[in-house]
A and B are shown apart, each in its own frame.
Chain A
């Protein structure tokens, strides 16, 4: 009788440990410590230079072989479009980057380009249970459509609401988002199509650490022109695409209340409990069982009753 109990205990613990080994995640660095690979590239987007010409949208459309748009890329009426819920345009399955216009109370409107920010510790990558996302050494956050199951957790996780889903496809719906032109350009040391196409030099491409310094220097040497903050430097653990603005960031619909820690850190609070529960629960509940069933008598009641039935049938 004793042997069976011990065997049961061991088998349950081993099963627990096995599941624990599968589900616990080991990390060498705490969240928020990874600022990108040293050779990682970045882009500084200077909103004071953008004139809303949409050349970047056209360049992306061509580079990524996106379908024909509803309107030509030199049609500025798109800035007046109002989408579901009173929203301006956002990225979707056929547009990896969009420019929106934000009219200001005073002065000229400000234009803002939206695309994946290629975070240092991306929430999409963190939340994907088939490891479909990769942060490459060059800094791009790319996506493997061959393993994607379509759970859309990455869309829930992205604080910038960038990944879009190809809902229109029945047979092969996948996530669609800016990949920093990795396959065609970044891998070969070339800047992405939108950066190259921009006539106003809105985007400055280079090693992330360098463009951060450029951004700081621009703020310093142009007093009064920029808000003293580089958006993306610290937000959700830092991003590779960063922004300078001449007007407060919230006036251009940036979320300024985002946390500093990467999104990964939020799930860590729970995930660190997992191996603890897996290790402690077996002994805890087996202990409860022993304590509440007055020793060995009832432990094997299931065995006894099944033996009884066996003799009856």
Chain B
């Protein structure tokens, strides 16, 4: 009899603690996320998710209001106070790869009830969200601190092996 009560207690504790699984560093959370949706001028970024969850304490700092935790940002909290975990948790689930394509813009304009009209694209979302915090907290700020530049990137920036060999036609006097 005693063992049944014990197992039930454990099960109950487990069930109750599930919503807080993130904080308990459950295996559901990814340790590392490869951000490579926008690979072109730079390689993908290897994002240490585990380390950030330790530093951040509050998931909503990055995930706004999508992980079922009440948002601390009052702007989000206005509407998203009792949200459960959304299906869309990753950045790229809400932030578009091409936020300025004609199709995306016309879709956005068609949805007259849309609140999030000033949503940055995915590339901007990454940089704005990450860098703002890094600058504040003393994290990596340089481009190549997070992702290496590709060959295309070197050519694009006319840098590295593509640097102008003395006497490129820059600005006039």
State the A residues within 8 Å of B (CB).
Answer: 49, 51, 53, 55, 58-59, 61-62, 67-75, 81, 83-84, 89-90, 92-95, 98, 167, 188-191, 195-196, 198-201, 204-207, 210, 213-214, 217-218, 221
Contact = CB atoms under 8 A, between A and B. Distances in A.
Contacts of B124: 49, 198-201
Interface residues of B, number: 34
A68 B168 contact: yes
Interface string B3-41: 000000000000000000000000000000000000000
A92 B171 contact: yes
A73 B162 CA distance: 11
A223 B27 CA distance: 40
A297 to B, nearest CB: 66
A90 B170 CA distance: 11
Interface string B90-131: 000000001011100100010000000110110111111001
Nearest to A217: B118
A45 to B, nearest CB: 13
B168 A201 contact: no
Interface in B68-105: 75, 98, 100-102, 105
B163 interface: yes
B168 A73 contact: no
B123 to A, nearest CB: 6
B164 A68 contact: yes
Contacts of B126: 199
A74 B157 contact: yes
Contact of A221 (B75, B120, B170, B171): B75
Contacts of A206: 100, 105
B169 A69 contact: yes
Contacts of A198: 124
A201 B170 contact: no
B172 interface: yes
B168 A199 contact: no
Nearest to A221: B75
A144 to B, nearest CB: 24
